[in-house]
Amino acid sequence: MPTRRRAIKTILAGAAAFTAAPSLTFAEMPEKQQTILRKGNIRHSVCRWCFNDVPLDEFCVFVKQIGISAIDLVGPKDWETLKAHGLDSSMCNGAEINLVDGWADSKFHEKLIKNYTEMIPLVARAGYKNLICFSGSRRGMDDETGLGNCVTGLKKILSLAEKNGVVIQMELLNSKVDHKDYMCDRTPWGVELCKRLGSENFKLLYDIYHMQIDEGDVIRTIRDNHQYLGHYHTAGVPGRHEIDETQELHYPAIMRAILATGFNDYVAQEFIPTATNKLASLGSAIDICDV
């Protein structure tokens, strides 16, 4: 079996030949360089599931080397691995049922309340802050019914979240292409939920890819609603692939807009790489977003 050092050396050797985006920071990185020094304005993260084929230990070594300080969507069983590598768990998961059975449907409340009541203290004890949640599907419900159900259910866990300093974050997902019938598919709906709950411990996970598909006007939306947005995900549109010149979003401008709101938490890459060298794609995405 290859050692971790040899594996990373192989990864970097392949990446050095990769033709990167206009910023060549990653592509030109010397093979023996310890780490890339980033500008420090954006706190970079990456979603684990997009790179599940890379063993977690090797992935941790690599992401630190390219200036990423956290990994998104990691549950309790992998937190010790992240800690061993000095990485943060920037968006914890494991309390949700799935993407379709969520807070908008009261029949799932009992299970969700149990799950989140158990998970919130675990997140806090591990020294983490963010815990993801989902509205789930409409199943014929109108917006108002879904909002009411979410408020009723989430209020039963928010006091615990506040006590433990944990922020529950509901992800905005598109219902046009990827998640048909998803309830929380527009920023105004999510913002209204935040207002009704009235807690700093409930925010929206603003997924740039998903919201470009369902509503567009990304930068204006971020500027107008930033106080309700607690986390960001990226990906290219169309296709959910690399965030390079092949797609319609200009991520440097989006990152600058996020920074202008005073946001100082994590932005996580959540694209599905198509390049042969997937990790080189990740390095180039960080170059693009490091404004």
Mean pLDDT of the chain: 91
Within 8 A by CB and 6+ apart from 122, the residues are 76
Confidence (pLDDT) at 25: 52
Residues 79-131 pLDDT 10s: 999 999 999 999 999 999 999 999 999 999 999 999 999 999 999 999 999 99
* Superfamily of chain region 42-289: Divalent-metal-dependent TIM barrel enzymes (3.20.20.150)
Return the axis-axis angle of helices 143-164 and 109-125, rounded to nearest 10°: 30
Indicate the pLDDT class of residue 289, thresholds 50, 70 and 90: very high
Q: Say which residue the tokens 């937190």 belong to.
A: 79
When pLDDT is averaged across residues 266-274 and rounded to a whole number, the result is 98
Confidence (pLDDT) at 161: 98
CA angle in degrees (0–180, nearest 5) for 23-30-270? 50
When pLDDT is averaged across residues 53-77 and rounded to a whole number, the result is 97
Per-domain boundaries in the chain: 42-289
HEC assignment per residue over the chain: CCCHHHHHHHHHHHHHCCCCCCCCCCCCCCCCCCCCCCCCCCEEEEEHHHHCCCCHHHHHHHHHHCCCCEEEEECHHHHHHHHHCCCEEEEECCCCCCCCCCCCCHHHHHHHHHHHHHHHHHHHHCCCCEEEECCCECCCCCHHHHHHHHHHHHHHHHHHHHHHCCEEEEECCCCCCCCCCECCCCHHHHHHHHHHHCCCCEEEEEEHHHHHHHCCCHHHHHHHHHHHEEEEEECCCCCCCCCCCCCCCCHHHHHHHHHHCCCCCEEEECCCCCCCCHHHHHHHHHHHHCC
